[in-house]
Structure 1
Amino acid sequence: MKKNSRDNPFPLRKYYGIMIVGFVLFLGIMAYYSVKFKEKREIAKQEVKLNESVSAGNSATQGKTKKTTQATTQSSTAAEQEQESRQTIQQTISYDGKTKLMWPLTGNILMPYSANATIYFESLDQYRTNHGILIEAKENALVKAVKRAEVEEIRKTPEYGKTVLMDLGNGYSALYGQVKDLAVKEGDIVEKGQVIGKVAAPTDYYTLEGTNLYFQMEKDKKSIDPSKYLK
């Protein structure tokens, strides 16, 4: 008598076993590829972040470089404009040596110009040359620019106290000595008649001569008699 398959459970168990094993394998494969996919995705994300970071860095660097270049260009342009402006101003500072200059202040000449012969200095009790003139003045009297000029140098010496050297143009210069309360600084352009300071108390070199303004002129670094150029 032939047996029915229903009466033999083993073939069905074998079939179910194969299905379970296949399903487990399937799940394993899916899990494996899922892990690999996640790894690749994370790597891709990291690459994207890295690229963005590099791009941002490049943009920032380019931005800084551009700003630096612009700043340098603007600075150079400003310097060139200032130089051109100064050259233009300096071109208008000119002196022909013939036009008479205004007096820096009103007063008698206490000591004349004497570069080639010695004269007596009462405070020093000695004879010596004098490369400028001493103009009698009261302390705090206003000192004015003799013409349009540029303030070249401000300094202090034992003999003349605080001094202001001005470029008159074409090699001519004027030195104002024994002044105080200056209203100008180096590099300033002053106009004719502009107040540059006040007369100071005399230094120890000129105490007996009295309060005065020391005024000296040069042409190409050689002293000249100021009284011949003042009117």
Structure 2
Amino acid sequence: MSCLLWPAVNVIFEIVYMYFNSVAQVQPVNLMFAVIEVLSVTHGMLLFGVFCYTLFLLRSSFETECNLLLAFFVENEGHLDRCRLRLAETYRDYRVFRSSVSAWVAFIVTIGILGLTIHLSWNYDVYSGNEKLEMSGRDLILLNCLIFSEKLMILTLPVFAVGGMDHDCLWRHFHLALSRNRRSEQEYFWERLTYYLRDLTENDRETGITMFLSVVSLYTGLRLGVQNLDYSRLPVH
């Protein structure tokens, strides 16, 4: 439920911040823009949360499928061709899921690190006195809580939804569970099935693109943080 609760909390943060910065000024133009921004943020946050929750359900379904696959192997022990076919079908679906999720998580983590680094650099300039803002201390605290919560959510929620940065972890656990189910009476069957599983995964490894993009985004964020950025004059998104 964290995938849905955290975006809802950020929407509440947004409403509170807009109240103190737009409603308190009692200007129709500010109220109109505040309502539009709150509605757009609510839509975006909830959509992001629902998407992450969908990924969480997909990952959970693959965990259940792996358990069912092991039970299928035990029930059909000795029928090598039948088990190979079922294993190939499951791995094909898992590979599509993993490749799609890996690309998306790499992009989201890169954007999240970039945004968080810029925000921390901006805070350093503000609290060190290098940058003057036309806003009260209360508004600055609210703005920091809102931005930090949003950036942290974007960075961590997708990783939590898919079960971490190592997207091969689920399949490795399945491989270990498969090895534990081996029986001496059907040693040839389990050995050939294990070899077939290795053949499927041997030349199918993920690249280190996520780590590379994370380092690039961290460096870019530090360089952008040197510039004179004033969040108080811009929308929070």
Which TM-score tier does this pair reach, normalised by the shorter chain?
under 0.3
Q: Determine which structure has the larger helix proportion and give its number.
A: 2
Give the number of the structure with larger relative contact order, counting CA–CA contacts within 8 Å between residues 6 or more apart.
2
Report which of the two structures shows the higher radius of gyration computed on alpha carbons: 1
Q: Determine which structure has the larger strand proportion and give its number.
A: 1
Question: What is the TM-score normalised by the length of structure 1?
Answer: 0.23
